[in-house]
Structure 1
């Protein structure tokens, strides 16, 4: 399976608590729900299209807890997001979750090497996409180990000035190839990128 990550970002790179004020207040974050005013039919269509490619989901513990508290309560069989999340296999990376209640959930635990091997084993299975949504801590772990095959970054026209960022200091230097680009009616830039090796460098300095 191809491992893809979908992340909502502000212009200054914040990914924390896009969906609601109580989603994640860590770090005294007071801007939860910043995505909601930009939601439109375009974003709904993009989500529906991409989630239809999922064969399984890989989630960090915090995002798993948020999703498992919300999506099982959405029982409309015509809701494509709820249908996929509630019925497809879900893998949550955690060393503290023992008995997940959300159906079709498997815990991926152990030390760092064990988690990497477990995720690689999932990628080696046949299928479409193993999708990561949100899951900032997990996303940074996957980036460090170069396990992500495609990034889908949704950049919203808002600056918050604080909050958890996807690309934090110390991120692995990486170049990317743009594979898809869209813009919603509310000005959200939705870009897909494929990792393309290490950054190259040059100079515009004049010869002495």
Structure 2
């Protein structure tokens, strides 16, 4: 059974929209696309991304991210490029209700019960991780599904669909845009299982989702 790993770039205020280009995703009037590009030459970040892709066995992508990847990676034909080699050959699953005939090799469309299909994919896979990269709407929906179905408190919870979350937190504040954790989501606890900082100041945190978040009060001071 495979783990489902979510990896995404986020700003200091949690925005994950359009990191890779000014026109990548302008929905909602977003004007700050391409905010990740100035950090692209960070060798430490590149090494981490390569580590992630080295563990991949298949990819689960939202439609917008799939279109971005499909428009770029098939044109990278260098066999020494570790990311291109994997993306162009390994199975890809795209969640979409409108895509019917994907041109990118080894692509399967998921259009029905997404959580159920993701659970089946995890069960069927025998090698490598099932990985989500970016894919804001898909990531939000699966995290919310897991939160809605969490049946324990932090440290004592049944596993959900997403097994780990890698947040690459960039030292930039955007003030608007799609966030990984939007307003109104279910409170959820996470356990930090790894962290590192890159040369350009990107903080890479790896979390394991827990159960429901806990809310308590401080004990009152003793009576005089």
How does the TM-score come out when normalised to structure 2? 0.89
With 2-11 and 114-123 compared, the bigger mean Cα shift is at: 114-123
Distance 1:6 1:90 in 2: 16
Q: State whether structure 2 residue 120 is matched by structure 1 residue 121.
A: yes
Shift, 1:59, TM fit: 0.2
Shift, 1:164, TM fit: 0.7
Shift, 1:84, TM fit: 0.9
Distance 1:81 1:94 in 2: 23
Structure 2 portions without partners, runs of 5+? 147-160
Structure 1 portions without partners, runs of 5+? none
Q: What secondary structure, in the 3-state scheme, does the structure 2 residue paired with 1:57 have? A: strand
Task: Give the aligned partner of residue 100 of structure 2.
Answer: 98
Shift, 1:176, TM fit: 0.8
Cα shift readout 1:83-112 (whole Å, capped 9, x = no counterpart): 1111100000111110000000000112xx
**Within 5 Å, which residues of 2 pair with 1:22-171?**
22-39=23-40, 40-110=42-112, 114-125=113-124, 126-146=126-146, 147-171=161-185
Rg bigger for which structure? 2
- Superposition misfits of 4+ residues, deviation over 3 angstroms: none
Contact in 2 for aligned 1:4/1:148 (Cα 8 Å):
yes
Q: What secondary structure, in the 3-state scheme, does the structure 2 residue paired with 1:117 have? A: helix
Distance 1:61 1:135 in 2: 8
Q: What secondary structure, in the 3-state scheme, does the structure 1 residue paired with 2:58 have? A: strand
Contact in 2 for aligned 1:143/1:172 (Cα 8 Å):
no
Distance 2:109 2:192 in 1: 33
Cα shift readout 1:50-85 (whole Å, capped 9, x = no counterpart): 110000000000100111001101111111111111
Please report the RMSD computed on the Cα atoms of aligned residues, expressed in angstroms: 1.1
Q: State whether structure 2 residue 7 is matched by structure 1 residue 3.
A: no
Shift, 1:205, TM fit: 5.3
Distance 1:78 1:162 in 2: 38
Q: What secondary structure, in the 3-state scheme, does the structure 1 residue paired with 2:173 have? A: coil
How does the TM-score come out when normalised to structure 1? 0.95
Task: Give the aligned partner of residue 186 of structure 1.
Answer: 200
Distance 1:36 1:116 in 2: 32
- Name the count of aligned residue pairs: 205
